[in-house]
Every structure is written in structure tokens, then in C-alpha cells.
Structure 1
Amino acid sequence: MTGHATGSHASSLSATRGFLHGLVGLSLLMGLSIGYSRVITTLYAVKMDAQGWMLAAVAVSQSIGMLILATSAGRWVDAHGACTVFIVGSAWGMGICLLTPLVPTFAALLLFTAAASLAMPPRFVSINTIFLSGLQDIGKQRAGWFRAAHVIGMTFLGAVLATTLFPMYGPVLAFWAAALIFGLNIVVFLLGIGRNRTAKRDDQHTARRSSLRQLFKSTLAKQVAIREFSIQSLNAYFAFYIVIIALRYLHLPARSAGFLVAAQGLAFVFTLVMAGKIAILHPRGSRTLGGLMVVGALIGLASSSVTAEMYSYASLLGCGLGLLQIINLNGFALLGETIGFSQAASINALAGPSGGCLEACWAA
């Protein structure tokens, strides 16, 4: 009996570990598909001599799908399951990437970019529904791993691959490579988590699916949404404006400006991976510490003109935002237990990209 129990425990542990690895791998690949497609879209717009408001329009169109379909995607997950919704969303993105370079005009690029953004909510909400519903099993201290993998894929791998392939092979092959990555997302989903694990069924919440306005009546929903919005806004705002500040006002070389962005991003990812246990054991202290780190970093960045200090404050900002992100991801999981995981994922899908979209509009 004891041997059977031990074997069952080992089997369960192995399944949980496999699910975690599949989830992190898929998050990395999803980030890669988003980051890569966004960068090649921007490079394609630049190749068309787009400037000023045209580039801003491309940036906004890349996020507009989340604003339109975030809540609808949650309903689709409830009705059809996360697997089906994820596959349909990825197939849509793959098809748009195949078509985009075939009509080489800026108007077509803008239209296709907006259409491609419609693929993001089904993918994001479905995978986040699975993530939030399984967080209790994989360990709340590992909440940051999922987001860290996504950031690595989107910010680092996507940018490197895009800036390598686009200049070498041009827009047609670059966009078709994006389609291939979307297809690979489907394969990894089915092999990694889709075969053996789906989001926990939430029939009581599915039956009384709330409207967006009703969702935000919850105090916890408002709190996690505002925090997610703030975290993503600050991340996007820093990445955009620190380059301008470094080049125009501090007269630093372009390489130094790039390293400032990298320092903040690496600190953010490092904190997501390493600080999970601290954030779970001491949530109130961690929230206070994270907030103080962010405020201190912003004050330091605003008043410093020394390169070494700028690197330190950029890293401090990344650590603070990473700590707050871990706490907020667990907040979304707690919210999911109350209103349903697909609804919590919809709020997450709406709040985060809204912050990035606001930054793009502000920059324009």
C-alpha cells in the first residue's frame, strides 16, 4: 500500500514537473512569436519609409486586438475549451503572417497588423487560464517563471531573431518564418500541455459569465488590474523613453542606451525566477519593498547623469517591478478562484496590453 502510494506520488510529481516544463516552454515560444512578429512589422514599416504618426499607428494596431477581444476570448474558452481556442488563434496568426508581405503597401500593413493582433487574445487568455488554474499545483512561488519565459522570448530572442532574419532575407521570408513560429506554437501546445492537461472546468462561473463592467465591481479585480496596468506601463515607458533620454539629453552612445534597457529587462527576469519564495512568504513586505524600489529607481533615473548610476537604477527598477509582478500573478490566481479562471485571464489580457498601448499613444 505504501509502495503504491509512493509510486502514485512520484507519478503525480513527474506529471506536474512535465506540465511546468511544457508551460514554461510554450510561454517562451509565445513570447518569441509576439516579439519577433512585432519587430519585423516595425522593420517592414521603416522599409516603407513610415515615420511619425505612421509608426505610432503601427504600434497601436499591434495591441488593439487585446482591447477588442479580451473579454470575448474568455467566453470562448468557457464554451469551447482552452485547447481549441489556442489552436484557432494561432492558426489565424499564421494565416495573417503568410498574407502580410504579399500586399506591399502601408495601408495593407496597417490592416494586416490589426488583424494579426486579433490572434493574441485567444492565445493569451487560453494559456493564462490553464496557468492560473494550475498554479496551486505547480507552486505559487513559481508564478514568475511563466512570465519570465514570456519576457525572454518576446524581448530578447524575438528581437535578435527578427533583426537577423529580416535584413538577410527580406519581408516575405521573414513573415513566413513568423507563420512557422505560430505553427510551432500549436505543436508545442499539443505535445507539452494540450494532451494531458486542460484548464479546470469551472461550470458555476461559466453559467453566470459576468460582463466586463460587472467583473470590475470586485475590489480584488480592480486592484490586480490597476497593478498589472501600472507594471506593464512602466516597463514599456522605460524601454521607450530611456533610449531617448540617454541619447538626446545625456549624450550617451547608442550601445549604452541599449544596455540600460537590457539591464532593466535582465533584472526583471532574474527577480521573476529567483524571488518567488520570498514574495509568497512575505507578501505584504515584498509589496512594500517592491513599491519603494520602483519609486527610488524612478527618482534616481530622473536625477542621475552618471552612466554607472543609471545602470544601477535601471536594474533596481527591474527588480522592483519583478517583485510586484510575482505578487500580482498570484493575485490573479486568487481572483480566478473567486470569479473563474477564464474571467481572471480576460482581465489580465485587458489590463497588461492596455498599459503598453497607452505608452504607444503617449509616445505618438
Structure 2
Amino acid sequence: MTERFGFTVNARDGRARSGVISTPRGDVRTPAFMPVGTAGTVKAMLPESVRATGADILLGNTYHLMLRPTAERIARLGGLHRFMNWDRPILTDSGGFQVMSLADLRKLTEDGVTFRSHVDGSKHHLSPERSMEIQRLLGSDIVMCFDECPALPATDEAVAKSMRLSMRWAQRSRDAFGDRPGHALFGIMQGGVNRDLREESATALKAIDFDGYAVGGLAVGEGQEAMFGVLDYAPDFLPEDKPRYLMGVGKPDDIVGAVERGIDMMDCVLPSRSGRTGQAWTPRGQVNIKNARHQDDPRPLDEGCTCPACRSYSRAYLHHVFKAQEIIASMLLTWHNLHYYQQLMQGLRDAIDAGQLAAFVAEFHARRAEGDIPPL
């Protein structure tokens, strides 16, 4: 076990890399997908079930946890790892994105953001210093800088102003984080879909010096084509020897495209949220278990899948329990989706290691193009 945070690239294929992020709580194989445990739980899953899908690291949410049950309470109870029974690495986001998207009556100043909680209307202030304090109380292994994430589309002028504020906040985050051996602080590149602003942001972050770097401000409404357009150049502005994290992504084809462009880490609520709404992800694309075509189908979601939903239950059963609003529907479909995502990551890692990424990607797209198995 390492006592420090580190990152090693073991193989490259084009711009894609496979490697390992080492932390005192265990290694994270990259490219990595992080399931989202918003409020201290991946919804409908036990932590040991999340681990069984192949996840090495989880994401926790600063905004939600600071409001309920509070970071101070979690710290008194031994920190987030003990609180939620997950002994492996945890990355916490800074709270900035949720403040922008969820909070009521927010007021943004140079110092930070004052807002009212969407839970009970109580008033709170989040600044770079307070975000660092909350994440320290939670005890997360990877801490994210406090930043502002403007919704796209926005004018270049608005994006530039926001990005430069985020860069000033990045320096304050670094100063407030201090020296915490074994814990990492990641900077967040902003700049919308403007190449010059992305480069300016990356230059500012590199001058501050972080343990890893996120590409922020994407997957916020700009569409896949625009996102890939930014990823065609943005990761190359960041240091080669540090992890690159694309925040809030995404669908399986988003993930494959991001890995091809040099991204090492991703997170998204999609596999768990889709599971709760009756959507299953398979190599042949998405299956909507609500559809009547599944009600007499004795076959599994995916013949080649080894998750509990596919090993032991039929499409007909999953259709029935979803329609009946039984909790097991969310449990089985979420497990299946997280398993599928982790299998996809393992496939990407193996393909990069073997120098076969192009063939893997071609097969991935060809299978998705086939669509779901024909109805009986």
C-alpha cells in the first residue's frame, strides 16, 4: 500500500492511456469510471455490491453532504469512508456545480456563493476555503477545487469572466488545502468551447500545480459533437504525468470517445439513474424494460452478462417488478448498469494495454448499431 498519492501510465494507444492512480486506500485502475454516491450512497446498491461490479473509487457530493447530514456530523462519526462503509478511495466534488444548478436564490461574489438550501431553505455560504474545509471533514482521498461552472451556451465574454474567477478560486483552494500527505487536490479547467480560453485556464492551473486536472464545464448542454471538439485539444494542454478527469460524463459512447482522446477518469449518475427509470445499458445499446415487448420474454437482458440481474432473472420478471414499482427493480437494473459500465472500462483498459483500441472501438460501435435482440 502506498502512503502517498501517485499516478503511473502503463500503456498508450494513440492518445488513450491506461495506468494506475495509487492512494493510501488502494489503487484505481485507469481509465476509471466512478459511480456517484451523491448523499453517501449509490442509490439502490450496497457498497459491497458496488465494489463487486468492479468499481475502485466512488464520488461523493460536497453540496448534498454539507446540507444533510452536514460535514461536521460525518467527521464526528469517523469520516465519510466509515460513515458509508466504503473503505476504498472517494473523490468529492467541490459543490460548485450543484450550487449553480440546484440551490435557490444564489448570490455570486468574488468571495464565493451565498445560497439557500433546496432541502429546507436555510442560508449557506460556500467559498474556496469552506469547500476545502468541508472536503477535509469528509476525509475524501481526492478533493476538487471550488469553481464556477456556467451553463452553455454562453457568450465568450461570460465564459472568460467565469473561467478567470474559477482560476482565482483555484489558487485560494490550493492555499486552503495546505499540505495533506496521502490526499490529492485536483484543479478544474474551464473555458467552455473556446480553445484560447481552455489554454489560458490550463496555463493558470499548471502554474498553481495540482495532483490531477479535471476538464470541467462540459456535458452541460453543448452536445456530444461540441464536447468531443473540446476534447480533441483540451487534454493535451494538461500535464502528461497527472490524471485527467472529465466531470459528469456520461453515456457509454461519450466514455469511449473521451478515453480515445486521453481522459483517465469519469463519473456520471446515468447508470444508477437509468436503472431506477427502467433503462438498461447493454453492448447492443439501451433496453427500455417498461416496453410491453418484454412482458413474456424469458431471456436475460444480455446473454453475455454475469451480473445478478442477467444470471438469475428474465426480461419478463424485470418488466413485471418495474411495472409493479417493486424496489428490486431498481436494485437489479442499477447493478446491471454499473456492471456493464465497469466491464466497458475493463475492455478499454485491456484494449489499450494490447494496442488494440481501434479494433475495440470499432466493435463497440458495430454492436450498438445492431440494436436490441429481436422480440420473440
TM-score (norm 1): 0.29
Q: If each structure's helix is expressed as a fraction of its own residues, which one has the higher value?
A: 1
Higher relative contact order (CA 8 A, sep 6+): 1
Q: If each structure's strand is expressed as a fraction of its own residues, which one has the higher value?
A: 2
TM-score (norm 2): 0.28
